[in-house]
């Protein structure tokens, strides 16, 4: 089997691509298991184990134009990294797919979510609504707080961990939160409720923290949390909203020795492309 250093679906160039994959290998604030800076390349490697045909969508992905642009330079301060990533995003013509790195890399998406009638939909085990953590307002535990302050339209799915202050902040500021125990109790009902909430938005930016999934599915993450949602829940939601998604990032993978988590991450990127690509 051929394995190369770029994502296996890459078949186009930057200017012609409908989808542009790029890595942001930064994990400067991870507080439990570091190593997500190695995820972009590990996910690329895992992608070569996957077919370029989606059974789920009945789509031959060789017909979709995809370009892997490599990794953003993560030397220097987080502010410098953010500026580089944001500048790169601002020049793209195709659909952006960012591979982290830790969840702070989502802050580069803010211009997308500032678009008229757009929201930030985040799949995560944690609120990430702290004002600061370890004396840093741009810690991975503060990402959603920073994005909410800038765009004000946030929906969270899969939450099952946080502190009372974060819960009060979400409830007091109208952030829609879907808790994992409610989702697992009645997935069909909760997914339908989520779709109704999202129906008010014309554009949706999607952020997937891989710890939103139960560790049985994704053991290789920075901050694993039991009682998580299933990958199929994510797949079903993406299918419902694929015509309105304007950008995507996948974060917090810490590559595991059995390549379980990075393979799941690669598969979800493939299926996201197939869902959106079927609308093009």
List binding-site positions for Mn(2+): 103, 124, 126, 128, 209, 211
**Dihedral in degrees, nearest 10, Cα atoms 229, 235, 241, 243:** 160
Q: DSSP secondary-structure letter at 202?
A: S
Question: Which residues have a Cβ under 8 Å from the Cβ of 143 and sit 6 or more positions away?
Answer: 103, 104, 106, 107, 128
Q: What residues form the annotated binding site?
A: 103, 124, 126, 128, 209, 211
H/E stretch holding 66 reads strand 66-71
Q: How many CA atoms lie within 13 A of 79 on its CB side?
A: 2
Angle value at C-alpha 97, between 7 and 233, nearest 5 degrees? 100
Q: What is the CA radius of gyration of the chain?
A: 17
Distance of CA 201 to the CA centre of its chain: 19
Bridge partners, residue 96, by sequence = 20
Q: Are 88 and 72 in contact (CB under 8 A)?
A: yes
- Number of neighbours of residue 42 by Cβ within 10 angstroms: 23
């Amino acid at each position: 089997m051929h394995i190369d250093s770029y994502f296996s679906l890459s078949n186009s160039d930057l200017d012609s691509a409908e989808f542009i994959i790029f890595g942001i290998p930064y994990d400067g604030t991870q507080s439990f298991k570091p190593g997500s800076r190695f995820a972009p390349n590990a996910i690329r490697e895992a992608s070569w184990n996957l077919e370029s045909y989606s059974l789920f969508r009945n789509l031959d992905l060789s017909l979709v134009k995809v370009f892997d642009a490599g990794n953003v330079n993560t030397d220097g301060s987080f502010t410098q990294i953010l500026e580089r990533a944001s500048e790169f995003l601002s020049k793209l013509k195709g659909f952006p797919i960012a591979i982290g790195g830790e969840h702070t890399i989502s802050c580069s998406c803010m211009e997308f979510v500032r678009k008229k009638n757009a929201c930030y939909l985040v799949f995560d085990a944690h609120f990430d609504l702290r004002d600061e953590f370890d004396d840093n307002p741009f810690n991975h535990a503060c990402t959603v707080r920073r994005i909410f302050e800038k765009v004000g339209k946030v929906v969270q799915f899969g939450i099952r961990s946080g502190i009372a202050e974060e819960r009060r902040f979400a409830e007091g500021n109208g952030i829609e939160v879907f808790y994992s125990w409610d989702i697992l109790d009645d997935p069909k009902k909760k997914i339908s409720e989520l779709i109704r909430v999202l129906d008010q938005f014309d554009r949706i930016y999607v952020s997937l923290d891989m710890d939103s999934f139960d560790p049985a599915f994704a053991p290789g993450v920075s901050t694993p949390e039991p009682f998580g949602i299933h990958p199929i829940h994510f797949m079903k939601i993406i299918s419902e909203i694929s015509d309105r998604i304007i950008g995507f990032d996948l974060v917090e993978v810490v590559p595991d020795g059995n390549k379980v988590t990075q393979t799941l991450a690669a598969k979800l990127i493939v299926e996201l492309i197939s869902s959106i690509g079927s609308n093009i």
